[in-house]
């Protein structure tokens, strides 16, 4: 680990595939911005497995435990070999119950002026992993079962997070998304609990609710009616990718995983091994995750400065990477951004 002497200690995980390239740009851009972070570089993912025999080394966990803050590149979990997803392990280790996925139009495409935030419950629901088969006759997999678990405490915690987030970020409305007409217990309880929480904020925020299927359609027909959306794990997972699609796909989508004691910021995309090492990766999503991290530590002015610079570079033809139809390499994009921040 190479800790910088001054600043807010934060763990930096380069990760796999295009991770090191985009993290390298992020470090240079954060320097130019005069960011408050003192990075502790740590390994995780496939590269860590190859180097130290562990997908998620104890040193990395210790670092995050100490700093409570991480910016992480994409991590690959090998398929086969019975490895559990590193991202899920991180989520569980630090009880990162809130997944926050803001989506904002930067390059107008199918939709213009999208600005919404999905808050997804990250530890409960149908993703808790209680799946099993029931054998019948000679077929060991005759019946497949999954159990969903929502707790009142967990529902209250995520709802409170979403409403607090909305207040803190000057948003106007929270929409609670559920399927309480069919999953009456599992998501009915989530809806009731979130509405109760909403009462405490009624003087500051509007709130309403939607059934998930209707919400999915309305996101396509009229996404501008939404502001902050809060939902359970499975629905939140699906809707957050749909929302990323409204602003041009996963390449531009940042995410934050937030718990009581730690927060981990990341690009939503994967390690993209097909373009790794070629200077083709777009670092925007990771940089936007960095902006969320600045917001999180109470540096909204720096966060906004970074977002404005990213917007400005992406607004020029020469500033776009290949995935956006431009000719800028990963590091060239970084250079242009740094020029803009210094200028």
Binding site for ligand ATP (CB under 6 A): 18, 74, 76, 250-251, 269-275, 281-282, 285, 323
CB of 108 to ligand ATP, least distance (A): 19
d(CA 251, CA 85): 21
| C-beta of 120 vs 210, nearer to Mg ion | 120
CB of 131 to ligand ATP, least distance (A): 22
CB of 297 to ligand ATP, least distance (A): 24
In terms of C-beta density within 10 A (0-12 exposed, 13-18 middle, 19 or more buried), how is residue 79 classed?
Answer: exposed
- Provide Rg for the chain, Cα atoms: 20
* Least distance (Å) between residue 282 CB and ligand ATP: 4
Interacting partner of 203 out of Mg ion, ligand ATP, none (Cβ under 5 to 8 A depending on kind): none
Nearer to ligand ATP, 15 or 68 (CB): 15
Cβ at position 75, least distance to ligand ATP in Å: 7
Residue 76: name its binding partner from ligand ATP, Mg ion, none (Cβ under 5 to 8 Å by kind).
ligand ATP
- C-beta closer to Mg ion: residue 270 or 326: 270
Conformational region of residue 101, where left means phi above 0, alpha means psi within -120 to 50, and beta covers everything else: beta
The DSSP string of 292-342 is HHHHHTT-HHHHHHHHHHHHHHHTSGGG-BGGGT--B-HHHHHHHHHHHHH
Nearer to ligand ATP, 46 or 162 (CB): 46
Judge contact between 251 and 269, C-beta under 8 A: yes
**Residue ranges in contact with Mg ion by CB under 5 A:** 270
- Residues serving a catalytic function are 127, 179, 213, 237
Nearest to 60 by CA among 74, 46, 40, 79: 40
Query: H or E element: which one contains 215?
Result: helix 212-221
Closest residue to ligand ATP, judged by C-beta, is: 270
Q: List, in order, residues 6 or more apart from 176 with CB less than 8 Å away.
A: 159, 190, 191, 194, 195, 198, 207, 208, 209, 210, 230, 231
Reference 289, options 88, 119, 101, 20; nearest CA is 101
- Nearer Cβ to Mg ion (205/234): 234
Torsion of CA 245, 317, 71, 32, to 10 degrees: -150
């Amino acid at each position: 680990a190479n800790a910088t002497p001054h600043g807010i200690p934060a763990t930096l995980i380069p990760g796999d595939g295009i991770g090191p390239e985009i993290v390298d740009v992020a470090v240079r851009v954060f320097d130019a911005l005069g960011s408050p972070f003192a990075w502790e570089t740590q390994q995780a993912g496939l590269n860590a497995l190859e180097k130290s025999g562990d997908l998620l080394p104890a040193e990395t966990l210790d670092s995050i435990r100490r700093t409570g803050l991480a910016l992480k590149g994409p991590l690959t979990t090998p398929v086969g070999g019975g490895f559990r997803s590193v991202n899920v392990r991180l989520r569980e280790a630090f009880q990162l119950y809130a997944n926050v996925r803001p989506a904002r139009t930067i390059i107008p495409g199918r939709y213009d002026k999208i600005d919404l935030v999905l808050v997804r419950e990250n530890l409960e629901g149908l993703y808790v992993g209680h799946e099993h088969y029931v054998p019948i006759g000679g077929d060991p997999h005759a019946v497949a079962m999954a159990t969903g678990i929502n707790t009142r405490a967990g529902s209250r915690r995520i709802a409170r997070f979403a409403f607090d987030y909305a207040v803190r970020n000057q948003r106007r409305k929270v929409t609670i998304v559920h399927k309480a007409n069919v999953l009456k217990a599992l998501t009915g309880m989530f809806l009731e609990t979130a509405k109760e929480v909403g009462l405490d904020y009624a003087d500051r925020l509007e709130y309403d609710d939607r059934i998930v299927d209707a919400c999915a359609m309305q996101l396509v027909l009229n996404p501008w009616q939404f502001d902050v959306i809060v939902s359970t794990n499975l629905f939140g997972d699906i809707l957050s990718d749909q929302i990323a699609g409204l602003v041009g796909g996963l390449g531009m989508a940042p995410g934050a995983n937030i718990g009581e004691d730690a927060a981990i910021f990341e690009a939503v995309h994967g390690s993209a091994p097909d373009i790794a090492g070629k200077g083709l990766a777009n670092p925007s999503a990771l940089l936007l995750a960095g902006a969320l991290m600045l917001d999180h530590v109470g540096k909204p002015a720096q966060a906004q400065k970074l977002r404005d610079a990213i917007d400005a570079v992406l607004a020029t033809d020469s500033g776009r990477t290949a995935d956006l139809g431009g000719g800028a390499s990963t590091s060239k994009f970084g250079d242009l951004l740094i020029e803009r921040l210094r200028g």
